[in-house]
Every structure is written in structure tokens, then in C-alpha cells.
Structure 1
Amino acid sequence: MKPMRVLATATLLALSGLHQAAAEDTIKIGGLAPLSPPGGVQSGESLRDGMTIAVEEINANGGLLGKKVEVIVEDTSGVPEKGIAAFERLASKEGVVAITGEAHSAVCTAVLPSAQKHDVAFVASECWSDAVTAAKLPQVFRITVANSLVYSVAADWVKEAGFKNIAIIAENSDWGFGVIDVFTKNLESTGAKITSFTAERTVSDFTPQLLQLKRADPKPDLIVAGFTGSNLLLMLRQAADLGVAPGKDTAIFAAGSDALEPEFWNVVGDGGVGVLANPAGLPGKPDTEISRAFTKAFEAKFDRPPNAVAMEGYDGLMVVAEAIKKAGSTDRVAIQEAMRKVEWDGTRGKINFPQTTDPAWKFQQWPEVPIFVIQYTKPNQPPADAAILWPRAQATVDSMLLHP
């Protein structure tokens, strides 16, 4: 698939024969997103659409350093090899000044050597594996959670909810293994029994694992679905169709961000009622001017509410823009240096990148990513309208778990 270009200008200068002049008057920023299978296409589209709102806003306000901004979004398909090729095209052929995006940890970790080779800033948007920032590369920043951050919070909710028999079905990727590892470590002191299964990312039939859990004695009271992309949705649909979960005896927690996309309801149907998810942000939380303005612009352009992934797409590009303004330059090294000093109020809070090195995953990791545990209570419900179970200070219901 050819890269998708998003231009927030009234006309396409290339068509008017002014391509060279346009190049000189344009700042190019690269974007990565899975826009075709086997990647999580809807997550990729949310990232891309969030970037679109950002670049339109920047250009409507005069651009950067007196120039228009162009974001060039390359499709990775969620495949490491394609991700590397996309990153290399952006960094060399397109000559972008920085790169942001992506929704698969396997791609984010695969492109790290390219970020180092080209000495270009890479702001990871929706890649949760600890390994992304644990490499401690000066070029790499992250505006979403790390496994050790998000699942330690989720594990706190699991403890409070009192689950005792937990089953994890995870893809055999860095992210999937991280789901198992963090949950296991954080729950080992509770006495809970944890059983884990792993499978290839390409697996689409989870019937054997789900039937094994259905026949288990005791049955799991919580299943953690550690998959990404369309196969996460298939697992959730199969769990509902088989009568495994969600139900009165067994809850199911969707660890992948695809449970936040409209396609979730298209695939899972009414079986999605009762499913749990953990977004790294919700529109209106915090309820700030920038969050409200982004939500309004996104809904007006795309006729759907934004989710955490779209917010990450927007925040990632805007953080790059803030670093360019702070540096007063499009020099790649200057942008990295400025990024380390950024304190920018984004859609989900004030974003910054501390130089913490212990533990390693905290290096240039935004530490204050908002993390929620939500539960869908009716069909076709957007994440922003779901019940918030955790953190308790922001809960919208009294119960730690609602039974469908």
C-alpha cells in the first residue's frame, strides 16, 4: 500500500507545478500506522485520524517556523519488516524531521535501530512493550503506557475486585509476554492462581483454549485476552458464543486497544456487553480546553467520537511540533534535545519525558499517562460512555465489576 499523505492546505501544490517550492516551504513529519491486515487496522486509522486533526490545527494557526506542515503516514501492516521499510523510507527518501505513531510493539521495537541509525526522534504512540523505551535510546520517546505501568494498575483493580482464578491467553510477542509477566508478578502475593496460554499472533480460532477454560474446575473468574488486531475481537466473540465470558461467573478483560474501536461492536455484537478494557486515556478526562477542542474537531471531521488511540495520534504529532518550536529548528538532533525539555498540555494531561533510567523502561517515558479500567454496559457504547471501574477516585459506578 502506498503511503497516505495528509495535507492541511487548501490546494495541492504538487498539482500546480510548484512541487519544489512547496518542499522548501514545508516541514515534513513522518507517521507510522497499521492500515492493512494483519495489523490492527482500526487502531491505525485512529492514529492517522488523530494526526490529521493535529496537522490541520497547526496549519490553521500559521504552521511551524513560518512553514506549512505535512504528515506522511506510512502503512506498516503491523509487521516488523514492513515497519522497518516504512521507517527507512520516511527517514531517508522523504526526509522527515521526526516520526511518530504505530500501534504494535513488535514494529516499534523493530524500528529502534533505524531511529538510531538516522538519528531521528521517534515518538511511540500505542506500543506498550517495556522494550520500546528500555533500550534507553536518546532518539526514542513514548506517550502511551508501558506494560509495567498499565498492567500494574490493572493488577491493582484485580486485587481489589478479589479475583482468585485468572487465565491469560496472550500472543507470543514482547507485548503479549509482558502482559503475562506483569500480571503474574503483581498478583503473586495475593494467592490468586494464574494460568497462561500463548499462541501465534495469526491464530484466529481460540476454541480449544476457551473450551479448556470452560471445563476447568474451578472455572476462571477472570480471563485476560492479551491479543491485538482483529484476532482479539475474534477471541472475544468466540468467548461469548461459547458461553465462557463475559457472564455471571467469569469476566473477560480485553488487554488490546482494538476493544476501543467501533469494529469491536461490529465483530462481537451484543456479546461485548460486560467486556472490560483499559484505555490509556478517555475524552474529557481531564476536562480541559484542549481536550474539548480536539474532541469537537474530531467528531466534526470523522463523525465518530475519538478514543485513546486517536488522542495519542494527535498528542504525538503535537509533541513533535512543540519540540520544533522550542528548538527553533528542524534539525533532527535539535528536535531531540528540545523534546527532553518539553512540558506540553495535551489531550490527556501534561506530557514530558523524564530521563529516569531505573527501571530502564521509564527512560523518556511519559510517566503520567491516565489509565482506566472500563466496562461496557450496553451495545454500541463508545469507550467514553462505558462504566469506569478504576481508578476508584474517578469511578462512575460503586461496584468493582458489573455483571452483564
Structure 2
Amino acid sequence: MNAPPPPSVPVHVPTVRIGALVPLSRPGWAEAGRHLLAGLELGVGEINGSGGIGGTPLELAVRDTAADPRRAEAAVEELDRLGVAAVAGEYHSVVARAAATRADALGVPFLCSSAVLDTLTDRPSDHVARLAPPQSRGWRLYADHLLDAGHRRIAVATQPSVYWESGTRVLREHLAPRGGTVLDLDTRALTPGQVCDALAERGATALLLLVGHPDPAVPLVQAVRRDRRLSGVLVGAPAGQPEFGEWAALLGGDGAGVPFLRYLPERLTSLGERVAKALRERLSAAPSFVAFEGYDTATVLAEVLRARGTEDRARIAEGWPRVETEGTRGPVRFSRTPGTNLWQWDAAPVQIVDRDPADPGSFRVLRSG
């Protein structure tokens, strides 16, 4: 009688671990997190399909930040103990700042995918690099767009946040020398109806939503759209809320004609066109710019790890200024950008876009820079 075969023993396959920080639950912007993760996973899958890093596959160690800076710091510390080669990702600027600061202190290379706050660290860091453009660059372009459209009295609906405060400061400093004024409306103290009253009383011609989504952004849009006094008031969302399907689902036609910042070029590269199709299949929806940022993050990390190895974190971080690779949105190279304290892709594309009022499911590019 034949003896039964011995039980199978799992074979451990060595991997190169990469920490991935993404907001996947509320109060984080979960839809943005899903797009970011889809891009990261697609990129890592393709890298592994072509041999990984010197024959060793990449492995994503995903951590949900839920838009919580303390949770992000704890995740970086945990990933450090796990021995990851680098940490990447994040969408929310305040969360990315906490993660970048902790990664820098621990000597962990951190590639920020999507957050734009100019200074992610208080001191110059050799460990931190970023693909998204600095907030000041995009928001100055946005201010120019408002001025060219004839807007001089601009209101901002705000919530407490370093990111919103930074954006307001950029707008105010850029608009003031050109005859523009900024009225700050604190949504903690004002209902949507009271915001409408303030817009009418102060003669503002534009309201910018520097607030969370869906609340209070969606009720604010609905209130303005339904107020006959404000029929000529432009609603804007520089932080990009209208990019995602949830905005259109909640607001329909009310969400059209709201200009926002998007980080895509006029034309994707040939790589980008191929990746767009794969992302659409993975997401069952049109990929946002955040999904492309995720894919480019994986591409850049692979290039650095192939060139610098996977064991020595200091050596990996030294690779940021030396990397040069083709991304979905153009060639990626990092340099020192004044005022950012990190390695920055200074050619990251910036667009001002809105949803077409005639077809809210499609976008119109209003300005590039």
C-alpha cells in the first residue's frame, strides 16, 4: 500500500517590500485612494511580469491612512520595522507631510505620489521625493485663470487645515498685486445658506471650495446653484473634487462648470495610452490623474531600485536625483525646487479642467501650464 504524500510545505519566495500609503476609508477620500492603489498595483504587476528587481518580485505592503496623519506616522514606523526598501503613495497633503517627516527621521526613502503641499518636511530632506507638482505652482495658475475670466472679488469656503490655509495664502498673495481680494468664509460657523448670503452681500463673483468632500462641498454647491441671487457666481474647486465619479453621481449637472486642478498633460505618452486602457479595465471607470500618479510611482521606484539595489536605504535615497525614466505623463527627472525641501519632478503637468455643462460625464481643458 502506498503511503500518502507528505503535506505540502509553503515555499517562501523572497520579495522586495514597498510600503504603500493610501486613503481607503472615511474620512479619507476613498475613491482617490482606490485610484492611487490601482495604479500602484498595475505598475508593480507589470514590473514583476518583466522580472521584478534583478529577478526578485516587488511586494506592496498596503496601509490605509484614512486621512489620519497619526495613523500614517504609525504605518511608516511599522513599515520601517518590516524592513521595506521604501515607502510610497498618499493623496492627502497633511497626511503625506506627517508620513514624509517620519520617514525622513527614520531614514526611509519616501516617494510621494499625489500630495502637493509645498513643504512636506520642515528641513531639506534627501530621503523624500515627489511626483505631484507643488501646490503654489498649481494654485498660482488657478489664480491667473480666475483673473483672466474677470474675477476680482473671490470668496473661499474653508475648513481648518494646513493645506487649505496654504492654498488661501497662495491665492491671496498672487491676487492682491493684481487687484484681487479674497474673502474667507469659515464653514464651521456658517451654514450653506449663510455662505450664500455672504456671497450676495459682499458681491463676490467666485466661490472656491476649500473644504472636504462630500460634506460640506456638495451642500455648498447645491445651495449656490439654487440661489437666484448667485446665478452668475463661479463655483471652483482647485483641490480636484470634480475629477472623481462620486462628484458627478452626487451633483449631476450642478457639478458641471466647476474648474479644478488636474495633473495630466495635453497628450499621454505611448506608455500612458496603454496604461490608460489597463487602468480603465481594472477600475471599471475612466482613470483619474491619481491612478497615473500611482503607476508612475511604481515605475520610478523600480528604476531606482534596479540602479541602486534594494538593501541600503541611504543608497536608494541617493538615487532620486539620478533617476531618469519614461512615465505615463512624460519623462521623470527629479531636481531641487526652491521652497519644497525635497526632490521634485519639476516638469509635472498641470491643467485647469471642468466638467462640460453640456455633458457632465466629459471634461473640458480650460488652461495648461
TM-score, scaled to structure 1? 0.83
Q: Which residues of structure 2 form unaligned runs of 5+? A: 1-7
The aligned residue for residue 86 of structure 2 is 98
* Residues 279-309 of structure 1: per-residue CA shift (max 9 Å, x gap): 1125xx3332111111011112222111111
Decide whether the 8 Å contact of 2:69 with 2:95 is kept in 1. yes
Task: Give 1:327-342 correspondences, 5 Å limit.
Answer: 327-342=308-323
What is the CA-CA distance between 1:387 and the residue it aligns to?
A: 1.1
Task: Give the aligned residue type for 1:373.
Answer: I
Deviates more, 1:209-218 or 1:59-68: 209-218
The aligned residue for residue 303 of structure 2 is 322
Task: Give 1:186-201 correspondences, 5 Å limit.
Answer: 186-199=174-187
Match of 2:83, SS state, is coil
Match of 2:334, SS state, is coil
The aligned residue for residue 169 of structure 1 is 157
| Alignment match of 1:373 (pick from 337, 341, 352) | 352
The aligned residue for residue 36 of structure 1 is 25
The aligned residue for residue 71 of structure 1 is 60
Task: Give 1:108-257 correspondences, 5 Å limit.
Answer: 108-132=96-120, 135-199=123-187, 206-218=191-203, 220-231=204-215, 233-240=217-224, 242-243=226-227, 248-257=231-240
Higher relative contact order (CA 8 A, sep 6+): 2
Match of 1:249, SS state, is coil
Decide whether the 8 Å contact of 2:192 with 2:220 is kept in 1. no
Match of 1:216, SS state, is helix
Decide whether the 8 Å contact of 2:132 with 2:293 is kept in 1. yes
Decide whether the 8 Å contact of 1:26 with 1:67 is kept in 2. yes
C-alpha distance 121-347 of structure 1, shift in aligned 2 (>3 A): same
Deviates more, 1:71-80 or 1:369-378: 369-378
* Residues 210-234 of structure 1: per-residue CA shift (max 9 Å, x gap): 223343242x211111124433642
The aligned residue for residue 288 of structure 2 is 307
Task: Give the aligned residue type for 2:345.
Answer: W
* Residues 211-265 of structure 1: per-residue CA shift (max 9 Å, x gap): 23343242x21111112443364245434554379x7511111122332111111
What is the CA-CA distance between 1:379 and the residue it aligns to?
A: 7.4
Match of 1:354, SS state, is strand
Give, in whole Å, the separation in 1 of the partners of 2:228 and 2:90: 32
Give, in whole Å, the separation in 1 of the partners of 2:258 and 2:55: 48
Higher-Rg member (1/2) = 2
Match of 1:64, SS state, is coil
Give, in whole Å, the separation in 1 of the partners of 2:184 and 2:195: 12
Match of 2:133, SS state, is coil
TM-score, scaled to structure 2? 0.91
- C-alpha RMSD over aligned residues: 2.3
Task: Give 1:38-57 correspondences, 5 Å limit.
Answer: 38-57=27-46
Decide whether the 8 Å contact of 2:252 with 2:360 is kept in 1. no
C-alpha distance 17-236 of structure 1, shift in aligned 2 (>3 A): farther
C-alpha distance 78-378 of structure 1, shift in aligned 2 (>3 A): same
Deviates more, 1:73-82 or 1:294-303: 294-303
Task: Give the aligned residue type for 2:249.
Answer: N
The aligned residue for residue 11 of structure 1 is none
| Alignment match of 2:368 (pick from 391, 395, 398) | 391
What is the CA-CA distance between 1:171 and the residue it aligns to?
A: 2.5
Give, in whole Å, the separation in 2 of the partners of 1:165 and 1:336: 45
Deviates more, 1:190-199 or 1:164-173: 190-199
Give, in whole Å, the separation in 2 of the partners of 1:244 and 1:122: 49
Give, in whole Å, the separation in 2 of the partners of 1:109 and 1:328: 26
The aligned residue for residue 3 of structure 1 is none
What is the CA-CA distance between 1:132 and the residue it aligns to?
A: 0.9
Give, in whole Å, the separation in 2 of the partners of 1:191 and 1:388: 26
Match of 2:319, SS state, is helix
Count, aligned residues: 362
* Residues 147-196 of structure 1: per-residue CA shift (max 9 Å, x gap): 21111111121222121210011222111001100011111112122211
Residue 265, structure 1, aligned to residue 262, structure 2: no
Give, in whole Å, the separation in 1 of the partners of 2:23 and 2:57: 26
C-alpha distance 345-213 of structure 1, shift in aligned 2 (>3 A): farther
